[in-house]
Amino acid sequence: MRPGFWSLMTRATSAALVRAHCSQRVSPLWRAGARQNAICARFSASWCWVLVLALASACGSAPTTTTSTAPTAVPTAPIAVIPAQGATLPMIDPTTVTGDIIVAGSSTVFPLTERMAEVFAEDGYSGQITIDSVGTGGGFERFCVTGETDIANASRPIDEEEVQACRAIGRTPIEFRVGTDALAVVVSTENTFVNDLSRAQLAQIFSGAAKTWNVIDPSYPDEPIQLFSPGSDSGTYDYFVEEVLDDDATGLQNSGAQFSENDSVLVQGVQGSPYAIGYLGFAYYHANRSTLRVLSVDGVTPTPATAEDGAYPLARPLFIYSDANVMREKPQVAAFINYYLTFVNDEIGEVGYFAASPEALEEARQAWLDSQ
């Protein structure tokens, strides 16, 4: 490194940026364009490319791409972090984070948290993140009753009974909104007769009131409806029962449906018959869209736009939860949540979910700051 280089950067950002730019093998942070943009967004427009040129000078090579003419002089004063609108989280260098993290909960949120753990490790984190898919209710039990986890994945908000259980062991759950799911009602690609169902028709089907498809529509085949549903520990189950079945699960429990907390089992079940139907998190449809078809509900197809504006009737928020004391006692937990909230929008589309609104993500970031 050339003398004086470190004076160009704040201590919070220097190590991560230098490692990322100087060694593609050590960290893909700079290589990932979306995360590069996120880093640059924390600096004023006039300073961001100054930093890029300084990095190139320090490493002995120029950036691989250039989109603007650089200033002729490099200032010696530290570059200030310019806050975006609202809360700005401190920059995390994953290579400096140590210690393990334990997560459990929603099968819906599982693939998103798994992806964020993967990129956290790719960017240099050397600890271990254990993530168990046990359903939202099971996740809150581990977080609030036994206290064995650091973070709870959830596809519904925590309820008052769970909050009280947390308080009984000295925890106050903090909610972090991380995305939006459009709960997918799916059939096999071999099913060529149904494309749209109303909520009333879904209630007929999943309450067990309609046993054959032709009861739903006379043009449908006179074949038994095969039902696949998440189990009762799942937040997806809770949400569907509340939104579609008027909070009465009696019919569903007696319908002969096959239940599983494992969404991959539900996928396999629906794939296996043209007369099967199920519901699950959109990411599981997205990952299996070559063999599954997603149905529109009340005439609305799930898309990022319809999930965000509420036009799709089965859109719902996704969360992670932690506790301020846990985050202070295990700084690796605070660091991971910071990283999660900083870069989740770069990864969420690839996973198969939709970004939370800027306001919701801003509120989550502020909750992180308030916990410190």
Higher pLDDT, 22 or 204: 204
- Number of structural domains (the chain) is 3
pLDDT band at 305; cut points 50, 70, 90: confident
Q: Domain boundary residue among 267, 301, 335?
A: 301
Residue 94 lies in a domain: no
Gap between the Cα atoms of 233 and 211, Å rounded: 25
Q: What is the pLDDT of residues 285-301, one digit of tens each?
A: 999 999 999 999 999 99
Q: What is the per-residue pLDDT for 341?
A: 98
Are 176 and 188 contained in the same domain? no
Gap between the Cα atoms of 263 and 309, Å rounded: 26
Cα angle 241, 137, 294 (rounded to 5 degrees) comes to 45
Q: What is the pLDDT of residues 8-35, one digit of tens each?
A: 333 333 334 333 333 332 334 433 444 5
Are 71 and 138 contained in the same domain? no
Are 72 and 109 contained in the same domain? no
In the block, which residue shows the tokens 């400096």?
96
pLDDT band at 5; cut points 50, 70, 90: very low
DSSP assignment of 25-91: TT--TTTSHHHHHHHHHTS-HHHHHHHHHHHHHHHTS--S---SPPPSS---SPPPPPP-SS--PPP
Q: Domain boundary residue among 83, 112, 147?
A: 83
**322 in Cβ contact with 372 (< 8 Å):** no
Question: Tell me, what CATH number does 229's domain have?
Answer: 3.40.190.10
Q: What is the pLDDT of residues 98-153, one digit of tens each?
A: 999 999 999 999 999 999 999 999 999 999 999 999 999 999 999 999 999 999 99
Cα angle 352, 356, 357 (rounded to 5 degrees) comes to 140
User: What's the gap between Cα 150 and its chain centre?
Assistant: 17
Q: By residue range, what is the domain housing residue 3?
A: 1-83
Residue 340 lies in a domain: yes
Task: Tell me the torsion sign for CA atoms 124, 128, 132, 136.
Answer: negative
Task: Choose among 182, 163, 123, 172: nearest CA to 340.
Answer: 123
Residue 247 lies in a domain: yes
354: β partners: 180
Q: Domain boundary residue among 301, 336, 353?
A: 301
Mean of pLDDT over the chain: 83
In the block, which residue shows the tokens 């149904």?
194
Q: What is the per-residue pLDDT for 28?
A: 41
In the block, which residue shows the tokens 């770069």?
346
pLDDT band at 86; cut points 50, 70, 90: low
